[in-house]
Amino acid sequence: MIENHLSGMKARSGAVMFVCSACRVAPNFRFGAEADGELVYLPICPKCEIGLGERKSMDARDFELREFARNWRLRHSGVRISPRDLFGA
């Protein structure tokens, strides 16, 4: 689930960069544990320490961030997106 604090901005290369909407800093990605002990993937802003979403798996993260970037690009024309720019793959 994408939280309200996740935002995008255009990098110098033209790719979408994910940032905290409060301070415009790129998030750190960490694993956390739910009450039942299941691991979840958490992007956290290193500056203001706000959680920017929670995903059950890396695949869920990739899917949600890809959709977020696609929608962001549609609202901000002229930005190109490639999976390598988003996830380093």
Q: Is the pLDDT of residue 61 over 70?
A: yes
Contact 85, 62 (CB under 8 A): no
Residues 54-65 have a mean pLDDT of 78
The full set of domain ranges for the chain reads 6-80
Cα angle, residue 43 at apex, residues 17 and 88 outer, rounded to 5°: 45
Give yes or no for residue 46 having a pLDDT over 80.
yes
Q: For residue 8, is pLDDT > 70? A: yes
The residues facing 17 across adjacent strands are 9
Q: Does residue 59 have a pLDDT over 60?
A: yes
89 pLDDT exceeds 50? no
- Which is more confidently placed, 36 or 26? 26
